[in-house]
Structure 1
Amino acid sequence: MSGSALSNQTGAAIGSLAFDTITPAGVVAVRQWIAGLVLPVATRPRLREFTSAQRRLVLALALVLPVINLALYSAIDRIGLGLAVTLEFLGPLAVALIGARRRIDLACAVLAAAGVAVLMRPQPSTDYLGMGLALLAAACWACYILLNHALSRSLPGGQGTACACGISGVLFLPIGVGVLVTHPPTVAALGFAVTAGVLSSAVPFLCDALALGRVPAPLFAIFMSLNPVLAATAGLLLLGQHLDVWQWASIAAIVTANTTTVLTPPRTAH
């Protein structure tokens, strides 16, 4: 899970270097194609043996994947890597809070909401469209965790995720081709996009599928707490994107809220 987070954010930072040449949609297209080629070869799913329920889950995940990536990369292009991933992280937090009834969970939800309010406070440079795209990615990430968890429990070795990536790559083919025709890629931009595809799609998707077959979805959300911190760090070191004190504090608040709500054991009846 830790390797997935580190690979994902490093790949996102590298992929953003190609935005000016092939746009975020072009980078997402290459990501989807890389994942769609690599993961089926690595896992060799036996699609004919899937049940109808498993196929429906695969199709649902295939529809979620391009939306989450396109929304996130478009948000990164507008508001930066650290802020985009922090807002996207509300998806795993929502998964952790589903069904919560404890006071500590309510307190964590309030803390996370305060962090989001600070991030989205009106300023001359506030980009609400970018923030809205990041929140759309958050909703899709919550769906991704729940769908991948269900698939990983019934299909070992990441077979379901691999099939979903293959279908997603095919669905994104006309969009990607159209973008790359209108925005011809340079060798450098194509290299950045391919690297992002390997580091942010192929490696994390396979790691996530294997991890979610072994751990509960809420526990998975704890380790996803690494993503906003790693994203902000990658944005600083690789892209020169600086955050102010309030933005770092907001990231810390959202990460703390998620970690606390999952690590705090529920009270047992006596």
Structure 2
Amino acid sequence: MKSLGGFATITASAASSQLGAAMGAHAFASIGPAGVVAVRQFVAAAVLLPVARPNPRRFTWAQWWPTIALGVVFATMNLSLYTAVDRIGLGLAVTLEVLGPLAVALGGSRTRLDFLFVLIAAVGVYVLVLPGPSSDWLGIGAGLLAAASWAAYILLNRLVGQRLPGLQAPAAATSVSALLYVPVAVYLIVQGQFNGMAILYAVAAGVFCSVVPYAADVIALRKVPARLFGLVCSVHPVLAALAGLVLLGEELALHHWAGILLVVTANALAVTCSKWSGSPTVDPEM
């Protein structure tokens, strides 16, 4: 029952993230990816701080350093993902990003099957982007940076979840990230780029991409092992592709869907096989 509740929480978090990302993309033309991320972090901090009420003055260094690191990861992960979404589309960007959870799932094992899953994922990425002279390498690189950030997010989120009660960890980390984006917001205000619809879309992104997932993930990662989190993360590319199609009008080619399928399959098989092979994972109750 405990794992079932964690599974449902992570799935809801995934759906919320992709809905919010699609809504935030509507504001790119006005305030850019950095502007959307800035508003996202302000909204998340405004919601989480009054609820969690963290007291930074009582934090020990063992609590502070992963919180600061998580805040930097929030800032990097969101900006790199949105930059990728802006350049290569939501479905492709999230498919590259999900390589992060796959890396976490495979990180504790070196079996032949694991190398097979890495190969499947690599083929999937190749089929997805079909690299060539016209490839958007900046967008692809941003997607891969988002993947590395997501892997760090999983590990750090679980660590601070063990060291800080309730929602204090995501609240404090989001505040750190929000402070990093104050210069971005000031610049956009001075330039007069904020407008009503852009702010509305960015606020919606903040609620659906930050408030809901950050709170849901830190709760879920106390209930389920990292491999189950990685398994559910496999649905992100599919949900992103559907959100991009319905909300952004992004139509994917056949090779895009084939690449998404291969990456999702590699992720799902990796975390499923790690369960039965006894591959070492970090238990949230440790």
Cα displacement string for residues 170-212 of structure 1 (whole angstroms, at most 9, x for unaligned residues): 1211122213432522211110011001111111111011111
Q: How does 1:89-168 map to 2 (within 5 A)?
A: 89-123=98-132, 125-168=134-177
CA distance in 1, matches of 2:58, 2:22: 38
DSSP-derived class of the 1:126 partner:
coil
State the distance in 2 between where 1:232 and 1:206 align: 24
Larger CA deviation: 217-226 vs 12-21: 217-226
Matched, 1:7 2:16: yes
Paired residue secondary structure (1:156): coil
Q: Does 1:223 align with 2:232?
A: yes
Residue pair 1:22, 1:180 contacting (<8 A) in 2 also:
no
Instruction: Give the distance between the partners of 2:229 and 2:265, measured in 1 at CA.
Output: 15
Is the CA contact (8 Å cut-off) linking 2:221 and 2:229 kept in structure 1? yes
**Structure 2 partner of 1:31:** 40
SS in 1 for 2:223: coil
Report the CA distance between 1:49 and its aligned residue: 3.3
1:137-216 alignment, distance < 5 Å:
137-216=146-225
The correspondence of residues 242-257 of structure 1 with structure 2, limited to 5 A, is 242-257=251-266
Contact 1:36 1:166 in 2 (8 A): yes
> Equivalent residue for 1:266?
277
Contact 2:128/2:258 (<8 A) preserved: no
Q: 1:120: Cα distance to partner?
A: 2.7
The structural deviation recorded for 1:140 is 0.7
Q: Given residue 164 of structure 1, which amino acid in structure 2 is its aligned partner? A: A
Output the CA distance in 2 between the equivalents of 1:58 and 1:25: 22
Q: Which stretches in structure 1 are left out of the alignment for 5+ residues?
A: none
Mapped partners of 2:192, 2:133: distance in 1: 31
Deviations 1:201-225 (A, max 9, x none): 1111110111112112222111111
Cα distance in 1 between the residues matched to 2:177 and 2:131:
36
Seen in structure 2, the aligned counterparts of structure 1 residues 267 and 26 have a Cα distance that, compared at 3 Å, is: closer
Instruction: Provide the rounded CA distance (Å) in 2 between the counterparts of 1:38 and 1:260.
Output: 37
TM-score (norm 2): 0.90
> Is the Cα contact below 8 Å between 1:25 and 1:179 reproduced in 2?
no
TM-score (norm 1): 0.95
- Structure 2: give runs of 5+ residues left out of the alignment: 1-9, 280-286
User: What is the root-mean-square deviation of aligned Cα atoms in Å?
Assistant: 1.4
- 8 Å contact kept, 1:22–1:183: no
2:86 paired residue among 77, 81, 95: 77
| Equivalent-residue separation in structure 2 for 1:181 and 1:19 (angstroms) | 18
Which letter maps to 1:113? Answer: A
Aligned residues: 268
Cα contact 1:29–1:173 (8 A) shared by 2: yes
Asked whether the equivalents of residues 21 and 183 of structure 1 are also in contact (C-alpha less than 8 Å), the reply is no
The 5 Å alignment of 1:34-73 reads 34-73=43-82
What is the distance in 2 between the residues matched to 1:97 and 1:29? Answer: 32
How many angstroms apart in 2 are the aligned matches of 1:36 and 1:181? Answer: 23
Mapped partners of 2:99, 2:128: distance in 1: 13
* Percent of matched pairs sharing the same residue: 51
Stretch deviating more after TM superposition (63-72 or 118-127): 118-127
Would you say the 8 A contact 1:64–1:140 is kept in 2?
yes
Runs of 4+ with >6 A deviation: none
The one-letter code matched in structure 1 to 2:197 is A
Query: Residue by residue, what CA displacement relative to the aligned partner does 1:25-62 show, whole Å, maximum 9, x if unpaired?
Result: 11011001111111121222233333211111001111
Q: What whole-Å deviation, never above 9, does each CA across 1:121-146 have from its counterpart, x for those lacking one?
A: 23464211100011111111111110
Counterpart residue type for residue 51 of structure 2: A
What is the deviation of 1:64? Answer: 1.1
